[in-house]
Amino acid sequence: IKLLMEKGYREISIVQLKELQKSNEPFILINTLPPYFYRKEHIINSINIPSEEIGITTPRIIKPEARIVLYCKDYNCHVSTTAAEELIKLGYKNIHIYQGGMKEWKEKGNLTSGLRATAEKDFIEGP
């Protein structure tokens, strides 16, 4: 993370992420976990690009000037940091990491999507 901050990249807090979601500013929210975890549950309006595929997939679908927010499981998960480092090598300059990840997002009562979504109306049991 220190490397990211030295290069102008930064962590984004849950408050900042929610403010960004409410704003009209364009950004792309990427879940960097394997597809199984994404299908099971993810932050609403996020896309899934697993960390090991970030260097191949991202340049094909996302412009280098795009604002990107990466997240994974929680503060102990470094998958999003690895993905950010790969994007930096590829020339992406507007990268943010939401370190709280899925754990903090759910603990703070925010809704999710997927097979085990936290929305009250969803009673689907996943694998």
- Distance, CA of 64 to chain centre: 17
pLDDT in tens, 36-69: 999 999 999 999 999 999 999 999 999 999 999 9
Cα radius of gyration (the chain):
14
80 pLDDT band, cuts 50/70/90, is very high
What is the average pLDDT value for the chain, to the nearest integer? 87
Query: What is the pLDDT, as a whole number, of residue 118?
Result: 57
Output the pTM of the full model: 0.86
Exposure string over 72-87, b if 16+ CB within 10 A, otherwise e: bbeeebbbbbbbbbbb
Q: What angle do CA 123, 41, 69 make, to 5 degrees?
A: 145
Query: What is the pLDDT, as a whole number, of residue 50?
Result: 96
107 pLDDT band, cuts 50/70/90, is very high
Average pLDDT over residues 68-91: 93
